[in-house]
A and B are shown apart, each in its own frame.
Chain A
Amino acid sequence: MQTRKIFRLIAVTLLLGVAAACAPYSLVPPAKTEVAGFTVENDIAWNKINQLRLESSAPVGYWTADGPALNGILFIGGVRSGEPILKLSGTEKDATFVFRDSMTPVEVVELWEATLAKLYSTSLADAKNIQPGRFAGLDGFSFDLDYVTKDEVDRRGRGHAAVKDGRLYLIFYSGTRLHHYGLRLPAAERIAQTAKIGS
C-alpha cells in the first residue's frame, strides 16, 4: 500500500509539477495554437511536455513556462460522462472519481479538488471562489484552488471549465504560490479567455 503510494506520488510529481528532469519538451511559440481539443492564443512561449503519463477519456495537454516544478497549464478537452477527469496512466478507473454530465459547477469543482488531492496524496486542497463566466464560447465557470503537495510547497491553481454535449472541458493553471503562480497568471488567463473548442 505504502509502496504503491510512493510510486504514485513520484509519477504525479514527474507529470504535473515537481521534477521533470528527463521529460522531453517542445517549444510552443506565441501564436494561435491547437492543444488537447482547444484552440488558444498564447502571448508568451511555453514548453509542451510531450510524454504525459496521465490519462483521460479526453485529449490532455500540459505546458510549462518556467519548469513543471514552478508552474504549468493543463488542458483537458472533453471528458465523457462516467469517466475520470484525470488518472495516472495504467491505473484502473476508480468509479467514485468520475465526472457526470448531471453535475453542477460546485460538484465539478469538488471532483477536481478530490482528484488532485488523490493524485498528490494530500489532505490540503481547498477550492474556492467559484464564479459563473463564459469559457470557450459557453456558459461556464471559474474557480481557485489552493493545495499543498507532499514536498510541503504551497501551490495555487485557477481553473476555467464548461460542459458541452455532456463533456467537460477544463483548463487549469497552477504554480507555486509564493511567486511563480502570479508570474504567469496573466498569460494563463489570456489562454483561457481565448480558448475555443475545436480547431
Chain B
Amino acid sequence: MIAPHRRSVLGGLCSCGLLGLGGCVTNMANEAPMTAGYRPQSDTDEGGLWYIVDRVERNVERSRYRVRDPDWNTYLTDIVRRLSPDLHADMRVYLLRAPYFNASMAPNGMMQVNSGLLLRAKDEAQLAAVIGHEIGHYTQKHGLARMRDAKARADVGIFLSMGLALAGVGAAGDLANLLLIAGQYSYSREHEREADEIGLQRMAAAGYRPMAASEVWQQLIEEDEADPNRQSPSVLFATHPAQQERMETLKGRAQQISGGDRHADRYRTHISKIRALLLEDELRLRQYDRSLVLLRRLQAETPEDGELIYFEGEVYRLRDGDGDRRLARETYEKALAAGGCPPEAWRALGQIQRKDSQHDAARGSFRRYLELKPEADDRMIIKSYLERSV
C-alpha cells in the first residue's frame, strides 16, 4: 500500500536493538508468486484470508464512496491490463472518492485507488507507477506473507512476554508488543521496496517512462515540506522506506532503463472530466499550503488553464490571511481572462468585490454568475445581493 501519511503514535522509540529482536520472527518470505487464475483452497489460511477480503470487496462494490464513472473505470482497467498482461483478468480496480494520495491492493486482486491520487498524478505514467507498485504486492502475495508474519509474531509474543516477565522486566507485555510491531514494520518496508522494483519493471515493459515513479515521490516530498502540520517521520514504524530514499532509489533505477512515454495528453483528456470535483474535495480539507504546491505543479503543465487558476484563487479566498483578498481577486481576474473556469469564478469574484465595497463591480459579477448558471442552487441568496444595494 502506498501511504504518505506516516504513523506517529509510537514515533521516537527508535532502537536498533528493538529492530533486531522484532525482525527475527520470520524471514522475508517467499510465497510462490501469483499465477493467472489462481484461487487458494478454502481450507487453508490463505483461503480464509481470501474469504475475508472477498467479503470486504462486496462492501467496496456497493460503497457510496465508489466513483462509478464508466469512463474512468475502463481507463483504470486498461492501465492495469497494460501493466499486467499476464494477470490483469484476476484484478479489479475500484476508484474511491477520497482526497488523499493512496492506493492499496488486497490479496484477492481487489485494488482500491483514491481520487486524491488521480489529482496528484501529472500524467498516465505517474498513475501507472503507483498501480504497478500495487500489482507488485499482488504478484508477490505480500498480503499473505504479512498475515503469516503477524500470526507468527502473535505466537512469539506470548513467549516473549512470559520470558520478559520472568526476567523481571516491568510492563513486559507492552515491551514485547513493541518489539514485535517494530519487526513487523521493518518487514513491511521490505515488501514496499520489492513492490517498487516490480512496478518499475512493469512500467518499462508497458512502455511507460520509468522516471515517473521517482517523480511521484518527489512531488509528495514537496507537498509534505510545504505542510506546516506535517508529522515528523518515524524511522522505526514507517511501513514504507523514507520518501527521500525511495525517490532516489527509483530515480537511480529509472536512469538504467531509458525510454517510455508519459501519455500526458491521454491523461489530461480523462482527468479534465472530473478534476473540478476532485479539486473541490481537496480544498474542503483546508490544507492550503499543500493545495498550493499541487495547483502550481499542475499549472506548470498547463499555465493558461482557467480552471486551475480559479482554484488557486479559491485557496486565497478561503485562507483569508493578510493580503489574500487582493491575491484572490487578481487570481480570479486572471482565471476569467484565461477562460475555461466554472461560473463560480464570477460568484467568488463578486464576494471579494462585495467585501471590498466595490458594489457596482460586485453586482456585475453576480449578474454574470446568474447568467451563466441561472439554475444555481444558491441563486436566491445571490439575487438578494442584487436586490439590496449589495
Contact = CB atoms under 8 A, between A and B. Distances in A.
B231 A1 contact: yes
B377 A152 contact: no
Given A148-B64, A152-B63, A130 B98 contact: no
Contacts of B43: none
Contacts, number: 69
A113 B283 CA distance: 12
B97 A124 contact: yes
* Interface class of chain B by DSSP: loop
A166 B347 CA distance: 23
B381 A1 contact: no
Interface of B: 5-9, 62-65, 97-99, 115, 231, 281, 284-288, 318-320, 347, 351, 354-355, 377-378, 380-381, 384
A130 B281 contact: no
- Residue of B6, B97, B286 contacting most chain A CB atoms (<10 Å): B286
Interface of A: 1-4, 94, 96-97, 100, 102, 104-107, 110, 113-114, 117-118, 123-125, 128-132, 141, 148, 152, 154
Contacts of A152: 62-65
A178 B246 CA distance: 47
A130 B347 CA distance: 14
B319 A132 contact: no
Contact of A106 (B64, B65, B351): B351
Contacts of A130: 377-378, 380-381
A164 B384 CA distance: 19
Contacts of B354: 104
A1 B381 CA distance: 39
Contacts of A1: 5-9, 231
Given A1-B5, A123-B65, A123-B99, A107 B231 contact: no
Contacts of A100: 320
A198 to B, nearest CB: 26
A41 B115 CA distance: 45
B357 to A, nearest CB: 12
Given A97-B286, A154-B64, 13 more contacts: A3-B7, A102-B320, A104-B355, A106-B347, A107-B351, A117-B284, A123-B65, A123-B97, A123-B99, A124-B97, A141-B381, A148-B65, A152-B63
A128 B377 contact: yes
A98 B381 CA distance: 22
A131 B286 contact: no
A123 B287 CA distance: 14
10 contacts: A1-B8, A4-B9, A114-B285, A123-B115, A124-B64, A125-B284, A129-B377, A129-B378, A131-B380, A152-B63
B381 A132 contact: yes
Nearest to A153: B64
B286 A114 contact: yes
Given A106-B351, A110-B318, A152-B63, A131 B381 contact: yes
A98 to B, nearest CB: 9
Contact of B281 (A2, A3, A94, A123): A123
Contacts of A3: 7, 9
A129 B377 CA distance: 5
Contact of A96 (B7, B288, B347): B288
A131 B379 CA distance: 8
A105 B284 contact: no
B102 to A, nearest CB: 11
Contacts of A2: 7
Contact of A102 (B115, B285, B355): B355
A177 B296 CA distance: 39
A72 to B, nearest CB: 21
A105 B99 CA distance: 25
A149 B59 CA distance: 15
Contacts of B288: 96
